[in-house]
Structure 1
């Protein structure tokens, strides 16, 4: 049986080859069976698994990893390039409150900040486009290698991966190495470090089971992990202790947005004080999320700042980043002309997405083509001069995937590509990948919350 290749499905030759490979392996079984039998994977991904993986060619992997390294460096340079070296000014510009700004700038005075992040990208059939860059320790995706291993129990995929010399990166291993590098002064000699995987009391009530999985898996990397919340910590001699164990490093799962809540800040203050005093390592440093804020992408995209970047940096921004602007009365359109933003956005509703800068996980995002004109105008008016950005819509190209029933289907993917420090994770900083797939070609946000399924990713190695 030969699978016809629709002409628009051209990004992934390996994807086409795998669909054709499966055509000769009818009756081989359920490719997602091992994933469904894994308690950790079903806890993380709600028993929604794609029937096959995504594939990255060697050249495109190296290109996107290189571009993401450039974007990361540009984001880290924003305080110096735009705000006279003031991290506080950047924090205020992205919408942080006074309390958040004070805590974040206080944290930035201690230790180092080693690159770690997950880029969310769409591929339009020609190139990747960066939608968001999540720069923090609380990334999720630590089960990615488990998903790859589970999928490899399916014999046809295992044969295909071997034949084409494909591989994958262990995202959790990259996270663990990054944590130990960033908190090197807190790593004890002669014994495994004790790491508290910590979120706020309220958040832990929801995601505690998954954090316990994370903590247990750290043992695979020579780390003793304990999942907990601030109410479970005590501070004899000023050092945090949990379950009778003195903590060397706290792996932070709470976010900067949690620091807007006075109750959460009060819970965390003893920990932050211990980190200030060098009595515990805190990973990642609180200022990491400023650089991953959606508003910083608007700063890179803003025509007013183009003179601050050299030719190679501008080429990377233009290649990877779609038009992104603060929601302000006046702006420049994609052609560089000064326009009334509200009028422009109303006229181009089908091609724009409205995003809050301080939320995560797709919360608060409004896709213009999914709402009526009156709702769109009302949302824009409410967002004006607030912590919101507008971004040009990227239409993801269809990708060929097995449908689990012996045929093929078109899926539209959100690529979650992890980036680490080259000296820590090796190669080009590529730290693994997973995808979320939707069957809806007009999808607004491809996410688990919006009904997508998750898949592993393999790359040419």
Structure 2
């Protein structure tokens, strides 16, 4: 499918790259170097896009600024909406009392700097935020390796050099954030020992990829170890694994993994060690409280409009599609009070139902992908539960080389990383990777749904 002029306007660089390949056909596989990388193949199963995505400098700066504003609003919700209570916010987004207690304890240790990955669609006019993953457990951390691998393809390397394009090293930005958050735990006389840690259950699946992350830390002067919570021992109260005392725990387990007190018993001595200053914890457990989909519904909710100033409201309206908790009553996009389930049934093809606590597309129901009976049943079971409704965003087509001298229309989920500008420099933009589908009516562009993966260059 060739890209139409309207669709091409968002990415003039993408169209220019396709035209370069058409005018000067090149031999070779642009993804060959990526396929030769064991780490990238492990992460993405060889499903690589034939070219990168492109962001103009103006787009990059604009979306980074909006995401920083939104991040600040999310962090301010306990004070603005709940009288400063983290526990009340945790309850409102659907966490159980055990999870809320863990979050409250963790929030009393160390600091929490901006770090996250926003998942966005571009509708042809602007970026629209689908969710904001605020945590240390960010997928796609290998994206700079993908940039470097793609630059092994001579036509792309020449194009990037001619247009003065760049990319950010996301893992480097994460490491700098970790070092700033956990500065008190870092030794001054030797390289720090950092354990990349998940639960025992999760580690049986993701352990090889976390080992890649641990190995990548060596490029940043860190001794990395990949392990699960059950592998720690605590001589003199300090977490130790494989005979090595750990300075910082790089957390890859999520709050959604911590629902059962018995199952999370191995976490208790780690939290005690963090509370006593014996180890740094990156990032604190309360990070995900702010990145919960329910908090996006709070920003979107008309009842909270008066809590934000004009510039803050404009940012929310610009970046965030209409999002509401699934309740018996709510407000429509015009602010009118409505029977929310009835409103959602009548607009099934324009809405998507999401659980607030899960990630990776789990539990999401796109109204346009199910019949009316299933949609009604899912809505009914979601009322008063930890679910939100969000307005459907239709991603615009993006031009990619089709390998035959033309351009292929693909539909992207943009994963844009954000960090503290004071820590990583510039405007806090910390890199990007994209997942792509050939389906214009896609519900969720994800690896689980068969998406292909690519990197991004910016002006």
Q: Give the TM-score normalised by the residue count of structure 1.
A: 0.98
Could you list the per-position Cα deviations for residues 383-411 of structure 1 after superposition, in whole angstroms to 9, with x for gaps in the alignment?
11000000000000001001234332100
Aligned to 2:47: 48
SS of match in other structure, 1:442: coil
Counterpart Cα distance in 2 of 1:341 and 1:88: 27
Trace 1:390-409 onto structure 2 (pairs within 5 A).
390-409=389-408
Could you list the per-position Cα deviations for residues 392-451 of structure 1 after superposition, in whole angstroms to 9, with x for gaps in the alignment?
000000010012343321000000000000011110000000000000000000001001
Aligned to 1:249: 248
Of 17-26 and 160-169, the range deviating more from structure 2: 17-26
Q: 1:266 Cα deviation (Å)?
A: 0.6
Counterpart Cα distance in 1 of 2:357 and 2:101: 16
Q: 1:9 Cα deviation (Å)?
A: 2.6
Aligned to 1:147: 146
Alignment: residue pair count? 458
Could you list the per-position Cα deviations for residues 114-168 of structure 1 after superposition, in whole angstroms to 9, with x for gaps in the alignment?
1100000000000000000000000011111000000000000000000000000
Aligned to 2:349: 350
Aligned to 1:383: 382
Q: 1:86 Cα deviation (Å)?
A: 0.6
Aligned to 1:312: 311
Aligned to 2:331: 332
Counterpart Cα distance in 2 of 1:210 and 1:61: 29
Counterpart Cα distance in 2 of 1:48 and 1:423: 35
Counterpart Cα distance in 1 of 2:398 and 2:359: 26
Of 401-410 and 324-333, the range deviating more from structure 2: 401-410
Counterpart Cα distance in 2 of 1:24 and 1:46: 31
Q: 1:329 Cα deviation (Å)?
A: 0.3
Counterpart Cα distance in 2 of 1:121 and 1:392: 13
Contact 2:110 2:182 in 1 (8 A): yes
Aligned to 1:95: 94
Aligned to 2:108: 109
Aligned to 1:18: 17
Aligned to 1:179: 178
Contact 2:61 2:427 in 1 (8 A): yes
Could you list the per-position Cα deviations for residues 23-63 of structure 1 after superposition, in whole angstroms to 9, with x for gaps in the alignment?
12323211000001100001001110000000000001000
Counterpart Cα distance in 2 of 1:8 and 1:381: 38
SS of match in other structure, 1:262: coil
Aligned to 1:86: 85
Aligned to 1:230: 229
Aligned to 2:66: 67
Counterpart Cα distance in 2 of 1:179 and 1:405: 44
Contact 1:95 1:357 in 2 (8 A): yes
SS of match in other structure, 2:225: strand
Q: 1:104 Cα deviation (Å)?
A: 0.4
**1:294 has 2:293 as partner:** yes
Trace 1:416-455 onto structure 2 (pairs within 5 A).
416-455=415-454
Contact 2:3 2:409 in 1 (8 A): no
Contact 1:412 1:438 in 2 (8 A): yes
Aligned to 1:160: 159
Contact 1:5 1:16 in 2 (8 A): no
SS of match in other structure, 2:17: helix
Counterpart Cα distance in 2 of 1:143 and 1:349: 37
Q: Give the TM-score normalised by the residue count of structure 2.
A: 0.99
> What 5-or-longer segments of structure 2 have no aligned partner?
none
Aligned to 2:340: 341
Counterpart Cα distance in 2 of 1:419 and 1:231: 31
SS of match in other structure, 2:203: helix
Task: Pick closer, same or farther for the CA change 1:343–1:233 going to 2, 3 Å.
Answer: same
Contact 1:9 1:125 in 2 (8 A): no
Q: 1:251 Cα deviation (Å)?
A: 0.2
Contact 2:98 2:260 in 1 (8 A): no
Contact 1:9 1:397 in 2 (8 A): no
Contact 2:3 2:397 in 1 (8 A): no
Aligned to 1:283: 282
Q: 1:312 Cα deviation (Å)?
A: 0.5
Counterpart Cα distance in 1 of 2:9 and 2:379: 36
